[in-house]
Structures are given as C-alpha cells and as structure tokens.
C-alpha cells in the first residue's frame, strides 16, 4: 500500500562546513528523514563520508537517519553505521555476495533494512528479498554524484516494484533517489513512490528556502 509521501533531503548537497546547522535547518523545514549518501570511491566513482560523520550529525536531529551505503564490500561496515546512529541502512544487491544474509544482519542490529536498485538493476532482483526489507530504494540516476538528470526508465521500474509490494501485501517504503525536483517528484509519486530523496532541490536557496523547497516536492 502506497503511504503518505516522505521527503528525505540528501546532505550530499548541504554545506559541509556547517553540517550540524544544515541538518537542524532541514529538520525544522519539514524533512521527514535525513538522507546520508556514503560513497567509497570503489563501488561508485566518488568518496563522501563514513560512520564518524553519521555519529556527528546524530545529536542534531531526532528524525530518522536514512543511510544509503554505496560501498563494497558492505558487510564489514554494517555494525559501524548501526552504532553511529543510522535508523535505516540500505545496501546495493551488487555490494556483497549474500544480500539476503546482509539484510537479515541489518535487522538483527535493530535497524530498518533497505535494498537499492541502480538504473541497470532489474526489479526482478527483488525476488526472494522483498520480505526481508523495510525499504526499496530505486536510483533514478547513476550513483556517485548529485545534480544529475532523472532517468526516465526509472518510472517503469517504480511501477513494477509498487506492483510487487502491493501484490504481496507488504508494508515496504518505496523510495526514489536522483534528479528529483518539483517536475519529476509528482511523476515518481504517480508511478508509486512514497519517499523522495532530494539534494539540490532541497538545499537550493539556503536555509530560508528549505521549507518552501520541501513543500514543493510534496506538491504543496
């Protein structure tokens, strides 16, 4: 069942020189989750942050930290991100040899487990995994950098995954990340998404604009 839309601003687009302030600002502006993009320069062609930054921002918000791990191998780091304060930990199906085991381990740590599909990863990759997850994240850009344009084929994948979730009667968040703005957001929602990650579209204009930016993504 499609749930009310949650907005998860990606701190990848925040001012890292004052990250705590930025997190507090988007929290107050109406963010539902705080999205944290972790990249290792190996699985994706960029390097961002590690568990210490997650730990550092944790005291600045009571909102859920939605941590997207774009790292491989991912298994050695799951405990560290859980201990740092992540609420949801999402992993790519290509980031380890046994995705099912990894997802179960995340849940054993008391965290919500998410699985991520990059643009070339088929929806069918979720076969036999959906019952093990709390969230599916569909990438509508190639992972690694912010500010990219929305890939149209993601809409078909969103529709397919929404059908899979509903057919099985599961309560699984369907999140979309990449090129989300006031034009693509309603299209993603219409296709079945109920959580949207937005970096550039959230943080543009500075703190005074954050509330309006978030409202626009909701369709307000």
Name the residues annotated as catalytic.
37, 177
Look at residue 173 and give its three-state secondary structure. Answer: strand
60 labeled binding residue? no
199 labeled binding residue? yes
10 labeled binding residue? yes
85 labeled binding residue? no
Distance in angstroms (rounded) separating the CA atoms of residues 44 and 170:
31
220 labeled binding residue? no
Structure tokens at 138: 């569909």
43 labeled binding residue? no
Structure tokens at 12: 């990848």
Q: What is the CA radius of gyration of the chain?
A: 16
**Based on the number of CB atoms within 10 Å of its own CB, is 72 exposed (0-12), middle (13-18) or buried (19 or more)?**
middle
145 labeled binding residue? yes
37 labeled binding residue? yes
Look at residue 167 and give its three-state secondary structure. Answer: helix
Structure tokens at 161: 């995954």
134 labeled binding residue? no
Distance in angstroms (rounded) separating the CA atoms of residues 107 and 127:
19
146 labeled binding residue? yes
Q: By the 8 A CB rule, do 56 and 87 touch?
A: no
Q: By the 8 A CB rule, do 156 and 109 touch?
A: no
Q: Which residue numbers belong to the known binding site for a divalent metal cation?
A: 35, 37, 68, 177
Binding residues: 10, 35, 37, 68, 144-147, 177-179, 199-200
Binding site for substrate, by residue number, is: 10, 68, 144-147, 177-179, 199-200
């Amino acid at each position: 069942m499609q749930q009310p839309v949650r907005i998860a601003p990606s701190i990848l687009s925040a001012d890292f020189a004052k990250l705590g302030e930025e997190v507090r600002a988007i929290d107050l502006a109406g963010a539902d989750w705080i999205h944290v993009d972790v990249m290792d320069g190996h699985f994706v062609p960029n390097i961002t942050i590690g568990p210490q930054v997650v730990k550092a921002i944790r005291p600045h918000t009571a909102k859920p930290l939605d941590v997207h791990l774009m790292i491989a191998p991912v298994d050695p780091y799951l405990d560290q991100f859980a201990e740092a304060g992540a609420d949801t930990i999402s992993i790519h199906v290509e980031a380890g040899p046994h995705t099912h085991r990894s997802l179960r381990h995340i849940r054993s740590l008391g965290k919500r487990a998410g699985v991520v599909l990059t643009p070339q990863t088929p929806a069918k990759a979720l076969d036999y995994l959906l019952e093990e997850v709390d969230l599916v994240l569909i990438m509508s850009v190639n992972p690694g950098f912010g500010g990219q344009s929305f890939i149209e084929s993601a809409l078909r994948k969103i529709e397919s995954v929404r059908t899979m979730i509903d057919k099985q009667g599961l309560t699984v968040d369907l999140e979309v990340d990449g090129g989300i703005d006031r034009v693509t957001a309603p299209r993603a929602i219409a296709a079945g998404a109920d959580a949207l990650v937005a970096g550039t579209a959230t943080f543009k204009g500075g703190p005074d604009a954050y509330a309006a930016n978030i409202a626009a993504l909701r369709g307000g």
